[in-house]
A and B are shown apart, each in its own frame.
Chain A
Amino acid sequence: MKYFKSLVRPYLVWSFIVVLVPLFMIFLYAVTNSGNSLINIQFTLNNFGKFVEPVYLEVFINSIRLGLITVAICLVLGYSMAYIIARQKEKVQNFLILLVTIPMWINMLIRIYAWKSILEPLGLMHTDFAVMVGQICEFLPFMIIPIHTSLSKMDKSFVEAAYDLGANPVQTFFKVTFKLSIPGVLNGVIMVFLLSISTFMIPQILGGGQYMLIGNLIEKQFIEVGDWNFGSAVSLLLALIILFSIRWMKKIDKGEN
């Protein structure tokens, strides 16, 4: 067996270079001034200080707000979709899930472009509505699939038992079905939140230039403004937001069990 141990070595080196080093460099950029050479590093927290300014604070609040709205709408739409699908015969279920997955395989940009060509003649481009439609269409499958997985794994006899014990359909749904599907719901919520908070193409294309979310702010710093230090600080914060929301969700998951 010991023969195969060394097989991890290439990846150990590789992941160190392309995963850990870049993260460290983002961190380094985030805590230094611009125009530094490696020999003459000056540490600063100014890049993080900027977040407190109302402008950038607003960008963060807007992104999180939009992310939460997207998650809420996707949850309602996705849950009902997954619920209906899970009640079909197995063959029908497989077919419907295939239909849900196909759009996920199709290039995201192509689908955004398609939405643009629909919304443009209708005069609906560059509105909150356009951005929401784009986001929900892109991310809904990520909500449906995990919820469907936990619903279809669920033991149906729990539901029957609840009815037998005198629960009405509403009680049965909330106290049994929904509770048992919480792992799937949490997975879906994390995925959709992660995707919607970090996207910059959907707001850029469907929302127009005045749409500034975290993703756009990062892209701007790197592509337009050239302030890599501030851009790195924003990215670091974004990564932390995501990390903490995942942690938090996992805690809820454990609490439920």
Chain B
Amino acid sequence: MLKKLARISSGLYVALCFAFFYVPIIITMIFSFNSSRSFAKYTGFSLRWYQALINDSEIMAAVGVSVSVALFATAISTVLGTITAIGLSKSRRILKEWILNINNIPIMNPDIVTAIGLMILFTSLKIEKGYITMLLAHICFCTPYVITSVYPKIRELDNNIANAAMDLGATPFQALVKVIVPMIKPGIYAGMLLAFTMSIDDFVISYFVSGNGVENISMIVYNATKRINPTINALSTIVILAIVFAVVVVKLAPKVRSTSWFCALNEKIPKKTRRVFEAVCGVLIFVILLRCGGDAKTLKVYNAGEYIDDSLVTAFEEEYGCKVIYETFDSNESMYTKVMSGEKYDIIIPSDYMIERLAKEKFLQEIDKDRLKNLGNIMPRLMNQPFDPENKYSIPYFWGNVGILYDKTVVKTEDLEAGWEVLRNPAYKDNIYMYNSERDSFMIALKALGYSLNTSDRAELDRAYKWLVEQKERVNPIYMGDEVIDSMIAGNKAMAIVYSGDAAYIMSENENLGFYTPQSGTNLWIDGMVITNECKNDDLAYKWIDFMLEPQNASLNSETVGYSSPVEEAYKEISMTVYADNEAYVPRQDNQNDEFFRYQEPEIKRYCAELWTKVKSQ
């Protein structure tokens, strides 16, 4: 009786563990066939996300990169690893131990350390980040696995076999290829398999060493975690099925191979057909490579995430017969870091204070206004702002302010009268999203305390820091990036700090929400398009700016992302149609306390960065 009970409970336990592993995977697969966007409700069977997947050129390019990098890295590291392992077995002991120890470093080191090591290496060698750096990095971390799987097999080998072959007249090369390699085949296969899966699964290393718009599947999925995108479910499903299929085939292969029909099949395929097959594979890989590397006329644009209507990029490409490499950043600071690390762009779309900084550091070209025929479309009051007088370097892209997005059904109106202090009201404990950005968070604290958001007074900054720490103690806010959009549409929290444009979009999806900008002032901002000094095709760059200022395009862009357009016609149209009665689409412009961010002295900047890290890790 007791034994039976033990058996049942252990069976149950194993089942639960497997459920833990497999339920998320299975749910992803089920929801890839969902007809709606939602993750909460299954509304019916549909293949629309698979269709979207095929049509999504960015994802398909990433699949190409993942597969081709994995194939190349596997092939190269298998050869390199195998010959090294063979050579190793014949080397002197000291050398052998040395190499095996070095070989263990990439295996034992945390991925992130390997990744930054390679990133520093490539940057200092001035190798442009992209496909090649990714491939080199993958070969770097795959080879050790091949060596560790092949080496033990060689040690089992009889030392005299190769000698015997050579005594019988084989050249060393023949002895290697015809005698040694066939005998260590199981080890080579195992290493190959390991290398392939390591490469195709990799995220951390690719994330640090890649650039220029070259992304693999993992990087696409990582970026997609910010916004719900069921296309990723479809992609995941295909990847999962492919892997399950591959694992099962590999596990069952020894059995299948021994059955007669497989042998017969194998023998029946004439060598010629096999050659043709191999050639086709080779060509395929070559084509994939070409697609990744080939370029005619290109424009490289660097913009914030979720900040454009994608169809505009395609439309621009078609109109001017060029290719746009479109990359996105999380924050002005991460953009700056990337540009500093040597990445080159033609057009960047940063915010006001960052434009000031880039201009000060001589990163930007002066804009020749005669080359822009749509410049007159911009609202005059958005021009000539203190961060870039006379718009020497930047042309407005979107503008707005920062405020509190709140759930009208949860937050009491009288609580809002406290201004920014409402964010420290214990009644909303665990119910607040802050914005995961140093400057925006300090802006709130400084404005709540009645200071200027551009203060360089350390005492004021210290007080702002205290304000934020106390906020953390009282209400335990969560610091979010773009994920806040979906979370607030779902109504997860009572309040969130958002940019006016995101607020406008979120409010159009969830009618319970309102937008509030405290009287004590907020940050007024303008994001502008700038042309860098590195720009290779300034004609195309000017065309891009003009294209974005076209009223039709500006309307479409503004409607999709929810931000207020600087183009007068577009702004009027959208504020009267799509976002009519949406208080967030029309940022206030009459409050004396509202300010633009200005360039921060490096010393103050570093001081704030340190305080901010402190706030977050309290």
A binds B: yes
Q: What residues of chain A have their CB less than 8 Å away from a CB belonging to chain B?
A: 1-12, 14-15, 17-23, 25-26, 29, 55-56, 58-59, 62, 77, 80-81, 84-85, 96, 98-103, 105-118, 120-121, 123, 125-126, 136-137, 140-141, 194, 197-198, 200-201, 205, 208-210, 212, 215, 217-220, 222-226, 228, 231-232, 235, 238-239, 242-243, 246
Task: Contact check, B28 vs A110: say whether CB atoms are below 8 A apart.
Answer: yes
Q: Which residues of A contact B617 (CB under 8 A)?
A: 55-56, 58-59, 62, 212
Asked if B40 and A102 sit within 8 Å, CB to CB, the answer is: no
Nearest first, the 5 closest Cβ-Cβ pairs linking A and B are A22-B117, A7-B87, A209-B436, A198-B110, A209-B479
* A126 pairs with B478, CB closer than 8 A: yes
Residues on A with C-beta less than 8 A from B480 are 126, 208-209
A-B contacts besides A23-B105, A107-B221, A208-B480, 7 pairs, CB < 8 Å:
A7-B84, A14-B143, A22-B120, A109-B203, A141-B21, A209-B478, A239-B109
- The 15 sampled A-B contact pairs (Cβ below 8 Å) are A8-B91, A10-B84, A58-B617, A58-B618, A81-B14, A99-B18, A113-B225, A140-B21, A205-B225, A223-B337, A226-B333, A232-B120, A235-B112, A235-B113, A239-B109
B273 within 8 A of A: no
Instruction: State whether the Cβ of B419 lies closer than 8 Å to any Cβ in chain A.
Output: no
| B582 at interface, CB cutoff 8 A | no
B374 in the interface, Cβ–Cβ < 8 Å? no
Is B217 close to A, CB under 8 A?
A: yes
Nearest A residue to B109 by beta-carbon distance? Answer: A239
Q: Provide the residues of chain A in CB contact with B218, threshold 8 Å.
A: 107-109
Cβ-defined contact, B106 with A19, below 8 A? yes
Q: Does B490 have its Cβ within 8 Å of any Cβ on chain A?
A: yes
B276, chain A: closest CB distance, angstroms? 31
Given known A111-B24, A223-B334, contact A121–B39 (CB-CB < 8 A): yes
Type the 1/0 row for B230-248, where 1 means its CB is closer than 8 Å to any CB of A. Answer: 0011001001100110110
Give A99 to B88 CA distance when docked, in angstroms: 36
- Bound CA span A1–B154, Å: 13
- Residues on the A chain within 8 Å of B208, using CB: 222
Does any Cβ of A come within 8 Å of B178's Cβ? no
Partner of A21, one of B22, B112, B121: B121
Q: How far apart sit A223 and B337, CA to CA, in the bound complex (Å)?
A: 6
Q: In the assembled complex, how far is the CB of residue B341 from the closest CB belonging to chain A, in whole angstroms?
A: 8
B283 within 8 A of A: no
B86 contacts A by Cβ under 8 Å: yes
Return chain A residues, CB-CB under 8 Å to B81. 11
Nearest chain B CB to A220 CB, angstrom units? 8
Contact A25 B121, beta carbon cutoff 8 Å: yes
**A219 to B110 alpha-carbon distance, docked (Å):** 13
Q: When chains A and B are docked, how far (Å) is the Cα of A80 from the Cα of B197?
A: 28
Contact (A55, B613) CB under 8 Å given A8-B99, A110-B28, A120-B39:
yes
Distance in Å from the Cβ of B436 to the closest Cβ of chain A?
3
Task: Specify which chain B residues have a CB less than 8 angstroms from the CB of A77 in the assembled complex.
Answer: 17
Question: Do the beta carbons of B116 and A222 come within 8 Å of each other?
Answer: yes
In angstroms, Cα B92 to Cα A2, docked, is 11
Interchain nearest-CB distance for A171 vs B (Å): 18
Q: How many A-B residue pairs have CB under 8 A?
A: 265
Are A103 and B21 closer than 8 Å at their CB atoms?
yes
- Quick one: which of B23, B89, B479 contacts A210, CB cutoff 8 A? B479
- CB pair B436 A107 closer than 8 Å: no
- CB contact between A226 and one of B39, B200, B340 (< 8 Å): that residue: B340
Contacting residues, chain A, for B90 (C-beta < 8 A): 1-2, 4-5, 7
* B6: nearest chain-A partner, CB-CB: A84
Write out the residue numbers on chain A whose beta carbons fall within 8 Å of the beta carbon of B492: 123, 125
Taking a contact as CB atoms under 8 Å apart, the answer to whether B87 and A8 are in contact is yes
B159 (CB) vs chain A CBs: closest residue: A1
Of residues 524 to 579 in B, which have CB atoms within 8 Å of A's CB atoms?
A: none
Tell whether B411 is near chain A: CB-to-CB under 8 Å: no
Q: Contact: A137 with B21, CB < 8 Å?
A: yes
With both chains docked as a complex, state the minimum distance between the C-beta of A96 and any C-beta of chain B, in angstroms: 7
Q: A15-B102, A121-B40 are in contact. Are A3 and B334 (CB under 8 A)?
A: no
Residue of B nearest to A197 (CB): B110
What's the nearest-Cβ distance from chain B to residue A158, in Å? 21
Q: Is B261 an interface residue (CB 8 A)?
A: no
Chain B residues near A239: list those with CB within 8 A.
Answer: 109-110, 113
Q: Are A19 and B116 in contact (CB under 8 A)?
A: no
A29 CB contacts on chain B under 8 angstroms:
120
A116 nearest in chain B by CB position: B225
Residue of A nearest to B22 (CB): A103
A114→B80 contact, CB < 8 A:
no
Kindly provide the distance from the CB of A248 to the nearest chain B CB, expressed in whole angstroms: 14
Given contacts A25-B120, A118-B27, contact A224 B331 (CB under 8 A): yes
CB proximity of B325 to chain A, nearest CB, Å = 19
Docked-complex contact A102 and B243, CB < 8 angstroms: yes
Contacting pair B239 A107 (CB below 8 A): yes
Which partner residue on chain A sits nearest B28 by CB separation? A114
Contacts of A201 in B (CB 8 A): 203-204, 222
Nearest Cβ in chain B — how far from A81, in angstroms?
Answer: 5
0/1 interface trace, chain B 591-618, chain A, CB 8 Å (1 if under): 0000000000000000001100110111
Give the complex CA separation of A103 and B99 in angstroms: 32
When the two chains form their complex, are residues B27 and A81 in contact, meaning their CB atoms are under 8 A apart? no
A228 with B613, Cβ < 8 A, contacts A106-B25, A210-B478 known: no
| Bound form: Cα–Cα A231–B208 in Å | 13
Given A116-B225, A137-B21, A212-B617, does the pair A200, B334 have CB atoms closer than 8 Å?
no
* Max count, chain B CB within 10 A of own CB: residue among A8, A58, A85: A8
* Complex contacts, B116 vs chain A, CB 8 Å: 26, 218, 222, 231-232, 235
CB-contacts of B66-106 with A (<8 A): 80-81, 83-84, 86-91, 95, 99, 102-103, 105-106
Any chain A CB within 8 A of the CB of B312? Answer: no
> Does the CB pair A102–B118 fall under 8 Å?
no
Task: Flag whether B263 is at the interface (Cβ < 8 A).
Answer: no
Contacts of A212 in B (CB 8 A): 613, 616-617
Collect the chain A residues with CB atoms within 8 Å of residue B147's CB: 11
B262 at the interface (CB under 8 A from A): no
Interface residues in B1-23 by Cβ distance below 8 A to A read 10, 13-14, 17-18, 20-23
* Minimal beta-carbon separation of A104 from chain B (angstroms): 9
- Greatest chain A CB density within 10 A among B24, B109, B140 is at B24
The interface residues of chain A lying within 8 Å CB-to-CB of B330 are 224
A26 in contact with B117 given A15-B102, A109-B218, A126-B478 (CB within 8 Å): yes
Q: Which residues of B contact A99 (CB under 8 A)?
A: 18, 21
Considering the chains assembled together, what is the distance between the CA atoms of A96 and B217 in angstroms?
Answer: 28
B239 touches A117 (CB 8 A): no
